[in-house]
Amino acid sequence: MNTVHHHVTVLLDEAVDALAIRGDGIYVDGTFGRGGHSRAVLARLGAAGRLIAFDRDPAAIEAGQALGDPRLTLVHAPFSDLDETLGRLGVARVDGVLLDLGVSSPQLDDAARGMSFRFDAPLDMRMDTSRGHTAAEWLAEASVGQITEVIRDYGEERFAHAIAKALAAARTGGAVATTGQLAAIVEKAVRTREPGQHPATRTFQALRIFINQELEELSRVLPACVDRLGAGGRLVVISFHSLEDRIVKRFMRDASRPPVLPRRLPVRAADLPAPRLKLVGRALRPGEAEVAANPRARSAVMRVAERTGAAP
């Protein structure tokens, strides 16, 4: 019997409102998940509207097929394939792109996915279970230096080197193959605990981000979003981690400013190329009521920008 894992969509109304949906517009949901945002977008689209939704997770694509909405095109691919996919579909410009980053609740709550230390399960961590190396496979081959770098850079873990050495030492007794093994090794290697947080939290987060190349995927898709947005189109991004939000914030900030030219270059401000984005409002976080109802929403940050009429 299959266990049903539910996902509570974060900032649902706020994100869809930010897209400023036109009934006949074309929109992209870069992270379908279980379709919370997509359903809300479809509810505001007219018969001529269109939604193209991406997800790496085969389970998410299967869930989306149950909608049976002819206006919805599901794409089993990472959102970094946005530009190539829109070209293949014959879509030159879109009116909005929504990216709801990070891992979904069904992925965390399904023990078989190996993303949580709450269950003892095979150490997988892949969002797309149909391709790529699992976390266990990578840990079996990676050097102490490589493991240290991943845990330090993606988990911001100050005991990264000690954890990496412990993981390498543990391999002499066999592969680190389960979430329970990983959590136990990390717990022994971490000398001090953060209040209210399991010692392995940062390590699990770091390995998941690395295995799925989440930050690299984000850095690739943001320029493609701007390239594909029509004038007035909105880019809406919800992040759950400081590293993600930093990438989004800097990208939107830089794209909303004129290019930086060498000092003393004889160019008037009026002659500078116009920015391609315009920031819309300030960063938005969930309210107290939403966080109380869904604690996983507490770290969410939503940023919005609008495509100007500036040339590519």
Annotated binding site for S-adenosyl-L-methionine: 35-37, 55, 79, 100, 107
DSSP letters, 47-107, are TT-EEEEEES-HHHHHHHHTT--TTEEEEES-GGGHHHHHHHTT---EEEEEEE-S--HHH
Say which DSSP state 75 is in.
Answer: E
How far apart (Å, rounded) are the C-alpha atoms in residues 121 and 135?
Answer: 12
Structural tokens at position 309: 């009429």
DSSP code of residue 127: S
Which residue in the block uniquely carries the two structure tokens 């409002």? 281
Q: How far is Cα 294 from Cα 285, in angstroms, rounded to an integer? A: 13
Distance CA 179, CA 182 (A): 5
Whether the CB-CB separation of 176 and 167 falls below 8 Å is answered with yes
* Rounded Cα gap, residues 49 and 277, in angstroms: 24
Please, what is the end-to-end C-alpha distance for the chain in angstroms? 51
Hunting for tokens 């799925």 — which residue is that? Answer: 212
Residue pointed to by tokens 């701007």: 226
Binding residue ranges: 35-37, 55, 79, 100, 107
- What is the edge-to-edge ordering of all strands in the sheet holding 229-239? 72-76, 50-55, 26-29, 94-100, 229-239, 301-307, 277-279
What is the 8-class DSSP label of residue 213? Answer: T
Q: Cα separation of 215 and 247, whole Å?
A: 8
